[in-house]
Amino acid sequence: MRRLALLIAATLQAQDALYLASIAAAGAALRLHETADAKRWLAQTPAALRQWEWHHLHTRANEAHVEWQAHPEQVTSVAFSRNGLLLATTSGDKTLRLWSTQSRRLLHECKGHTAAVWSAAFSPDSTRVVSGSSDGTIRVWNAVSGAEIAQYPTDGRGITAVDWSSDGDTIAASSWLLNKGVVGIIRLFDARTGARKRAIDFGAKPITAVRFSPDARSLAAATWDSWLGLWDLTSNAEPVIAKVSPEDGAYAAMQSLAYHPNGKRVAVAGKDGRVRVFDSKTGGVERSIQAHDQWANGVAWGPNGEWLATASSDQTLRFWGAKNTVAHSPVHSLTALAVSSDGATLASGSADGMVHLWSAGLADARRDRTDHKDTVYGLAFSRDGRRMFTGGWGGEIKAWDAATGGALWTAKPHRSSVNRVAISPEGGRIASGGNDGLLQITNAETGAAEATWESRKEGRAAAVAWSPNGRWVASPSENATAKLWDAATGRVLFTFAQGKGEVYDMDFSPDSTWLAIGWTSGDLAVVSTADGAVVKRLSGPRGAVRAVRFSPDGARVAAAGDDRAIRLWSMPAGALLRTMAGHGEVIYGLDFHPGGRRLASGAADNTVRLWDPQSGAEVLRMPFQHQIYGVRFTPDGKTLAVAPMNGTVVHLRSER
């Protein structure tokens, strides 16, 4: 029996080690945007061991909210109908396919082309769709029935791109001729009769993309030899030509282009991974973004031009605007990109024949980042998780809608930095402490000032805590003391004088019977909220205690600080269970996941780390560009909020 038990223990230990190694590898792969590798590492982990960190990484690796196998071969283009009900996809399998965007059901497979189909575009009324193929034909299909209704003649060797003007009158198609070398050509057709309206020769290599301006008065075309041509279709004037000279000598063949909704700019994606934004009148480069490390294959503007989305062979979809965000594709290179006319949804195609639909909400950085402006030192969530409160360097407290990231109100109860905020369990009031020595009570619904409970002549209020039963508020006071206040009346019930230095952090046990207090001297004590008696002095910390937190079941208390280690004690015995080391600088933030099986820490070494408090193992390391002051799980445990010292709160999610 003993040998069997040892064998089982060894097996479980090996599983734990494999899980930790796989999580570390998946995290590293995602930092390098190697989504496929991350997914493989995550897939091999035992399901029984998967905790918050697994779901967080899995969410990051799978941010396309809908996906399906659209073709057996590479998807070459995607296009939304103007009414948003249809999605057209083309492929090397010689077909154009029409899908319902609501059910993702295949409505029609349009066959007739005899070679790869490279591009498709809908008519403005969404009743017809045009496609272009390497077989040299341009075909028009009934979008309702899927039947072919027209075929336009062309003199090119193969059709590389098509577009339909917004007024419905004209179809543009690009191709190439072999005439003493490769010459790119564009042909404009009357959309009703198929008669050729205009012939344009342009560039020394094939044209890869052609687009009408939103008002149909202009046309843009991009080529493999890095030329962008801009035509005024209302005149016979020569085109404006912009020739790109890559900054680093890389091959900058153009892959895709998109007009800004106001028609004043054109964004072009290239094989050098850059996206360049041109003035549509002058051809001047307004902005050049190194968007990807590999080919940038697709580009699309948001409905008002507030963001620019790019898709790449590096398996990422990225948004560029006031805040840059990254979303990961499921497995293969992204080869095509389109945005719906209402701007709510993006579609991408990939090299493995998959199509992905993405919410344009990914572009809204407020979902993943809250901008407080000043460095955030106080961070708290209402018990229902619907509101978040931040306190910062400038003395302001701000309330936020936790679901949308929208600001609810701003108040300034302090003359200088807000160091901690704590919200009452019923969600009606906020207690805050600041560098000005004030202990303030603020209305959590409106931000209105309600009371000042203490105004210290010396020192600051670095810590504030509200008991889970709602009856008490704890705060630091003068001469290394801490006070327990009656939350209803603001009357002092007890004064604790059990340590030296400054009281830096405090936390109530879940049942409100104990209060843990950490001092900058390294003193750490758990006291009774009934009479102020010391329940246990906890020994071990060397240097200031910066963070202290009870586990959700109240059976353990964790503390960390200047000595860069996290210690975990049992309660009420006060026995040191384990010491968790790994951070390279001062630890400022601690928080248990509501389930109790994970402990998060944030430190001045620019990392957030996740620990298994049962084994003491470091489970996940998440690097940042700034020192970390605070970490806090949402009440439902789905999101970890992180306060780096750059004026923001970053929301790390375990599900979308």
Q: What is the pLDDT of residues 406-418, one digit of tens each?
A: 899 999 999 999 9
| pLDDT range class, residue 157, cuts 50, 70, 90 | confident
pLDDT on residue 57 = 94
Residue with tokens 């400038």: 394
Task: Tell me which residue of 467, 536, 476 sits closest to 508, measured CA to CA.
Answer: 467
pLDDT on residue 31 = 84
**Residue 323 in this model has a pLDDT that exceeds 80:** no
**Residue 508 in this model has a pLDDT that exceeds 70:** yes
Q: DSSP H helical segments within 357-433, as ranges?
A: none
Beta bridge partners of 503: 519
pLDDT on residue 326 = 66
CA 352 distance to own-chain centroid: 24
Give the whole-angstrom CA distance, residue 382 versus residue 258: 43
DSSP string, 244-268: ---TTS----EEEEEE-TTSSEEEE
Give the whole-angstrom CA distance, residue 104 versus residue 375: 45
Residue with tokens 């919200």: 423
Give the whole-angstrom CA distance, residue 160 versus residue 90: 12
**Residue 287 in this model has a pLDDT that exceeds 70:** yes
pLDDT on residue 351 = 93
- Among the residue ranges 69-78, 264-273, 364-373, 483-492, the one predicted with the least confidence is 364-373
User: Which residues make Cβ contacts (< 8 Å) with residue 57, sequence separation at least 6?
Assistant: 23, 26, 27, 30, 38, 42, 620
Higher pLDDT, 330 or 412: 412
pLDDT on residue 460 = 83
What values do phi and psi take at 457, rounded to 5? -80, -30
Q: Which residues of 537-573 are buried (b: 16+ CB within 10 A; e: fewer)?
A: ebeebeebbbbbbbbbebebbbbbbbbbbbbbbebee
CA 458 distance to own-chain centroid: 43
Average pLDDT, the chain: 91
Higher pLDDT, 337 or 204: 337
Angle at 604 between CA 599 and CA 610, to 5 degrees: 20
| pLDDT range class, residue 15, cuts 50, 70, 90 | confident
Q: What percent of the chain has pLDDT over 70?
A: 94
Residues composing the chain: 656
Give the whole-angstrom CA distance, residue 516 versus residue 511: 13
**Residue 203 in this model has a pLDDT that exceeds 80:** no
Higher pLDDT, 405 or 425: 425
User: Which residues make Cβ contacts (< 8 Å) with residue 501, sequence separation at least 6?
Assistant: 480, 519, 520, 521, 522, 523, 544
3-class secondary-structure state, position 98: strand
pLDDT on residue 136 = 92
Cis bond before residue 572 (omega within 30° of 0): yes
Beta bridge partners of 87: 80, 99
Tokens of 543: 């240097």
CA 307 distance to own-chain centroid: 14
pTM of the model: 0.71
Alpha-carbon radius of gyration of the chain: 30
Tokens of 463: 């810590």
Report yes or no: 119 and 160 within 8 Å, Cβ to Cβ.
Answer: yes
